[in-house]
Amino acid sequence: MEYEFTIIVPLYNEQENLLRVEKELAKYLNIATKKSCILFVDDGSQDNSLALVKEICKRQTAFHYISFEKNQGLSAAIKAGFDYAATAYIGYIDSDLQTDPEDFNLLLDKIEDYELVTGVRSDRKDAFVKNMSSRIANGIRRSFTHDGMDDTGCPLKVIRADYAKRIPMFKGLHRFLPAMILLQHGRVLQVPVRHYPRIAGKAKFHLTNRLIGPFLDCFAYLWMKKKYINYKVNDQA
């Protein structure tokens, strides 16, 4: 069966969410506007997540997984998903399901005219401190990248695979995906999507790694922007 769209689901210690993830993603596959498959990326979970993922993949033919030897972080999990996906389009959603898989269709509806379409959580359901720290972090990042994006942390994105696979990932770069597409002279768009409160599991980000880490990563991005190689072949024999 030839798929057009791979949905990457990074996860770390999300055993409480995974059966709900299976249910919601299986439901989405029935209405997806492109033939879709799921790729779990287990980031070295220490709970029962990997065992559950293996069970899910046995009973769901469109579900697949890879697992890390040890915890490497979200950027590494996304990078691995980009590397292992074999479809023309790649999506990404968090395993906490604070965004709705059905909204992938909103993004896929626009992807023919863009290289990356990202969700923007217009009515966030997070706690005040989390919302404020994310707004501050987005403002800092936007002042460095000038990418025009209001919510790069939104865990709902669709990217053309040929652009995704050319992104030179480093830790923290998941916050800079639109900027990295712009470096390739790609086109980016943000689309409002639904957002829900987390109902199970524990958030992996807190005030420190939502503010200090992204601020330091901005300098890494500026270095990469200065050194980035972007070429286009116009003839060959």
Indicate which CATH number applies to the domain containing 60.
3.90.550.10
Q: Which domain holds residue 156?
A: 5-227
144 assigned to some structural domain: yes
234 assigned to some structural domain: no
128 assigned to some structural domain: yes
Q: Name the CA dihedral angle for 9, 17, 171, 38, rounded to a multiple of 10 degrees.
A: -10
pLDDT computed for residue 83 by the predictor: 95
Amino acid at 47: D
> What is the model's pTM?
0.82
**Do residues 6 and 88 make contact, with C-beta atoms less than 8 angstroms apart?**
no
pLDDT computed for residue 211 by the predictor: 62
What are the pLDDT tens digits along the chain (237 aa)? 699 999 999 999 999 999 999 999 999 999 999 999 999 999 999 999 999 999 999 999 999 999 999 999 999 999 999 999 999 999 999 998 999 999 999 999 999 999 999 999 876 655 544 555 566 566 666 666 667 676 777 889 999 999 999 988 777 777 888 888 998 999 999 999 998 876 765 655 555 555 666 777 777 777 777 877 777 788 888
The number of domains in the chain is 1
116 assigned to some structural domain: yes
pLDDT computed for residue 115 by the predictor: 97
pLDDT computed for residue 170 by the predictor: 78
CA distances from 122 to 148, 150, 154, 173, 191 (A): 15, 10, 10, 23, 9
**Do residues 89 and 4 make contact, with C-beta atoms less than 8 angstroms apart?**
yes
Residues 6+ apart with CB under 8 A from 212: none
52 assigned to some structural domain: yes
232 assigned to some structural domain: no
- Buried/exposed code over 57-73 (b: 16+ C-beta within 10 A; e: otherwise): beeeebbbbebbeeebb
218 assigned to some structural domain: yes
29 assigned to some structural domain: yes
The residues with which 40 forms a beta bridge, in sequence order, are 9, 65
**Do residues 180 and 110 make contact, with C-beta atoms less than 8 angstroms apart?**
no
Strand order in the sheet with 116-121: 63-67, 36-42, 5-11, 89-93, 156-160, 116-121, 188-193
Please identify which residue in the block is written with the tokens 């330091």. 216
pLDDT computed for residue 133 by the predictor: 56
